[in-house]
């Protein structure tokens, strides 16, 4: 057809172009569906003259978002801080409790039912109790985030550590490994992919927990903004706050994914990006 | 470790001696009673049918699975806990996905707290000898089955084991790779002069790699025959077509035919 050397020389550029095209194509459906949904929403509000306090048009929400942006960002700062502190407490205590459960059978039997019960209780219902127990402010909010997010971390840590390959452990025994070294060099690295699955779930739940905490026990943060806005029928502002919380949640998810990619590049779930 | 080696060497040979050893799990009689000696520096192959307890026997020798009767000794000492000075290669390579080839080889040295520069050099040299020197930084998932098993062999050798236990190490590999591995293992163990016990299903492999072949019966596994393999080393793969070789293979096969394990 053509000179083979020309093909080779052009291949990288062509390959890049092809990949960009594939990526673009994969972005098209979500963008298209968003345009359609927002367009229909906007059209419906205008056509039926729905009042803004009932359902604001996307364009109005956007307007408020721009107008109140500095305030929303300041309030997001409070929510983000409570989420982060609560999440890290949940992360560290969750991994520690998970490790203890997987290591000691008695501890497992003693504590696991309580964990399941604590998970089964609807958290939103107990949020006001936190106000009674820990007072109005950051402490209640942070502790609520902890309670809201620790379960997936514990469950995944236990699953990861208990899932260690028995043959691998036998091999370690044949190498005279101490239990601590087995934990450090085999069990924990092997459990990381599972633990990360829990981290990703918990990290995105943390801002939700913080917002619920702010509903009842705070006079700052996006949860507070939301409850105030709804109370005074400033529905466009409430929508703007929801948009900010959602975008923050998405950023947290991708941050957790990026951390996962850096931490466990060897895992099967991450290999496509390293080879392709 | 060299101190252990010289003391043991001076006082007595590091033979593996099994005396009436047998293993039961409740009513299930896995193997035995079995008695044999593997002399220091020699290579013994154990060939037997599936489920005859040969892998359990190997774990008993490694100190991972205590016997219910009889005594297994290494260098005169009864084996009651996992032996420190043993390298094991399992059927699965059991490489850690998060470590590259070199770091996988260094794992036993890290466990024992003996991972110094000399050990790292030795690990690199072993990988070179085994023909995977170019893949020291590669992760297990980037290696083929044969390459992974070579890394596992290097790992078993890195701490200068006094005893090398091979538990059907090549049964998951294709025939051609398996032949290559047979030659490689022969070379490595020759260089290291390490006492070796190989568990295998392959009669030809058992004969090729062993100074002796022990033939095991079905469960409960017992020794049916103990055959000395007279061929000098290093052996070439073409040896397997020699009449003397095929005669030994035939002798082993007849054992299996007689006991109904092989038919035809």
Span A110-130, pLDDT tens digits: 998 998 898 898 888 888 888
User: Could you give the angle at which helices A138-162 and A105-120 cross, rounded to 10 degrees?
Assistant: 130
Q: Round to whole Å and give the CA distance between A76 and A85.
A: 14
Report yes or no on B242 lying in a domain.
yes
* B110 and A CB contact within 8 Å: yes
Instruction: For residues B79 and B27, state if they share a domain.
Output: yes
- Round to whole Å and give the CA distance between B229 and B243: 13
Using the beta-carbon criterion (under 8 Å), do B96 and A271 form an inter-chain contact? no
- Does one domain contain both B61 and B151? no
Q: Give the pLDDT confidence score for residue A3 in this predicted structure.
A: 45
Chain B residues with CB inside 8 Å of A177's CB? 111
Q: Which residues pair with B43 in a beta bridge?
A: B196
Tokens of B91: 């059927």
Q: Measured between alpha carbons, how far is B139 from B93 in angstroms, rounded to an integer?
A: 13
Q: Which residues contact A66 (CB under 8 A, 6 or more apart)?
A: none
> Is B106 among the domain residues?
yes
Residue B78 lies inside a defined structural domain of this protein: yes
Instruction: Determine the Cα–Cα distance for residues B223 and B217; give it in Å rounded to an integer.
Output: 6
Same domain, B70 and B176: yes
Q: Tell me which chain A residues have a C-beta less than 8 angstroms from the C-beta of B86.
A: 174
Burial of B182 per CB tally in 10 Å (0-12, 13-18, 19+): buried
Task: Please tell me which residue of chain B has the smallest CA distance to A169.
Answer: B94
> Which tokens belong to A80?
């983000």
Asked whether residue B52 falls in the same domain as residue B109, the answer is no
The verdict on ipTM greater than 0.90 is no
Question: Is residue B17 situated within a structural domain?
Answer: yes
SS3 content of chain B, % helix, strand, coil (to 5): 40, 25, 35
B139 chain-A contacts, CB cut-off 8 A: 266
Average pLDDT, integer, range A9-36: 81
Q: Which two tokens stand for residue A251?
A: 């950023």
Say yes or no: B123 and B245 in one domain. Answer: no
Q: In terms of domains, do B75 and B176 share one?
A: yes
Q: Does residue B97 belong to the interface with chain A, where contact is any CB pair within 8 Å?
A: yes
pLDDT of residue B200: 93
Is B146 touching A (CB cutoff 8 A)?
A: no
Nearest to B33 by CA among B256, B221, B225, B259: B221
How far is Cα A155 from Cα B215, in angstroms, rounded to an integer?
Answer: 49
Per-residue pLDDT, B3:
43
* pLDDT on residue A6: 42
B104 CB neighbours in chain A (<8 A) are none
Considering the domain architecture, whether residues B63 and B107 belong to the same structural domain is answered as no
Residue B187 belongs to a domain: no
With H, G, I as helix, E, B as strand and everything else as coil, classify residue A134.
helix
Burial of B84 (0-12, 13-18, 19+ CB in 10 A): middle
B18 lies in the same domain as B77: yes
| B213 touches B60 (CB < 8 A) | no
Are B233 and B209 contained in the same domain? yes
User: Which secondary-structure segment (H or E) carries B223?
Assistant: strand B223-228
Residues of B in contact with A176 (CB under 8 A): 82, 84, 111-112
Residues B80 and B177 in one domain: yes
In chain A, residues with a C-beta closer than 8 Å to the C-beta of B1 are none
A215, A245 contact by CB (below 8 A): no
Whether residues B77 and B100 share a domain: the answer is: no
Same domain flag for B177 and B239: yes
The nearest CA of chain B is from the CA of A272 a distance in Å of 12
- What pLDDT is attached to residue A146? 95
pLDDT at A1: 41
Expressed as residue numbers, the domain containing B144 is 94-159
How many domains in chain B?
Answer: 2
Place of tokens 């790992």: B155
Residue B30: give its domain's CATH number: 3.40.50.300
Q: pLDDT tens digits, residue range A56-87?
A: 999 999 999 999 999 999 999 999 999 999 99
B202 vs chain A: nearest CA distance in angstroms?
23
Q: Closest Cα to residue B196, out of B42, B90, B64, B8?
A: B42
- Shortest CA gap A177–chain B (Å): 5
Q: Choose among B146, B144, B164, B147: nearest CA to B156.
A: B164
> Cβ contact (<8 Å) for B82 and A189?
no
- Note whether B108 contacts A170, CB cutoff 8 Å: no
Distance from CA of B35 to the nearest CA of A (A): 23
Q: Do the bridges between strand B86-89 and strand B163-167 make them parallel or antiparallel, or are there none, so unpaired?
A: parallel
pLDDT at A40: 96
CB contact under 8 A, A266 and B84: no
The segments of chain B whose pLDDT lies below 70 read 1-12, 263-264
Instruction: State in Å, rounded, how far the first CA of chain B is from the last one.
Output: 50
**Residue whose token pair is 């293992």:** B185
């Amino acid at each position: 057809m053509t000179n083979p050397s020309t093909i080779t020389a052009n291949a990288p550029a062509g390959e890049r172009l092809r990949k960009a095209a594939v990526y673009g194509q994969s972005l098209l459906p979500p963008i298209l569906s968003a345009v359609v949904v927002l367009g229909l929403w906007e059209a419906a509000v205008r056509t039926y003259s729905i009042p803004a306090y009932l359902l604001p048009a996307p364009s109005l929400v956007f307007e408020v978002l721009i107008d109140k942006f500095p305030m929303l960002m300041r309030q997001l700062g409070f929510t983000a801080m409570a989420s982060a502190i609560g999440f890290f407490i949940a992360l560290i205590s969750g991994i520690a409790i998970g490790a203890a459960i997987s290591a000691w059978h008695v501890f497992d039997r003693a504590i696991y039912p309580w964990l399941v019960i604590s998970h089964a209780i609807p958290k939103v219902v107990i949020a006001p109790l936190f106000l009674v127990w820990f007072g109005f402010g950051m402490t209640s909010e942070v502790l609520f985030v902890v309670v809201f997010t620790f379960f997936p971390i514990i469950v995944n840590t236990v699953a990861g550590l208990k899932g260690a390959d028995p043959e691998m452990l036998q091999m370690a025994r044949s190498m005279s490994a101490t239990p601590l070294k087995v934990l450090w060099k085999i069990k924990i690295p092997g459990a990381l992919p599972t633990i990360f699955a829990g981290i990703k779930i918990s990290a995105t739940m943390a801002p939700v927990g913080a917002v619920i905490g702010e509903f009842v026990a705070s006079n700052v943060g996006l949860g507070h903004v939301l409850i105030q806005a709804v109370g005074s029928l400033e529905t466009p502002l409430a929508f703007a706050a929801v948009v900010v919380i959602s975008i923050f949640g998405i950023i947290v998810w991708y941050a957790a994914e990026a951390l996962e990619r850096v931490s466990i590049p060897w895992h099967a779930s991450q290999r496509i990006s390293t080879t392709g | 470790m060299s101190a252990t080696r010289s003391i043991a060497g001076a006082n007595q040979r590091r033979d593996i001696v099994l005396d009436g050893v047998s293993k039961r799990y409740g009513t299930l009689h896995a193997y035995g009673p079995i008695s044999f000696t593997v002399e220091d520096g020699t290579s013994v192959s154990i060939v037997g049918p599936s489920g005859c307890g040969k892998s359990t026997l190997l774990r008993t020798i490694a100190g991972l699975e205590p016997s219910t009767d009889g005594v297994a000794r290494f260098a005169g000492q009864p084996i009651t806990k996992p032996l420190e000075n043993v390298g094991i290669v399992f059927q699965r390579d059991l490489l850690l996905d998060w470590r590259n080839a070199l770091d996988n080889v260094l794992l036993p040295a890290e466990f024992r707290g003996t991972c110094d520069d000399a050990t790292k050099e030795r690990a690199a040299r072993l990988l070179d000898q085994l023909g995977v020197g170019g893949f020291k930084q590669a992760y297990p998932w980037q290696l083929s089955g044969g390459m992974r098993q070579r890394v596992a062999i290097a790992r078993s050798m890195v701490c200068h084991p006094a005893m090398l236990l091979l538990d059907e190490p090549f049964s998951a590999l294709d025939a051609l790779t398996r032949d290559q591995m047979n030659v490689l293992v022969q070379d490595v163990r020759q260089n290291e002069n390490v006492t070796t016990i190989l568990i295998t299903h392959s009669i030809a492999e058992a004969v090729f790699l062993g100074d002796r072949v022990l033939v095991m019966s079905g469960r409960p596994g017992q020794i049916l025959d103990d055959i000395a393999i007279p061929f000098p080393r290093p052996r070439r793969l073409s040896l397997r077509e020699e009449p003397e070789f095929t005669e030994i293979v035939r002798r082993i096969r007849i054992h299996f035919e007689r006991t109904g394990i092989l038919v035809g």
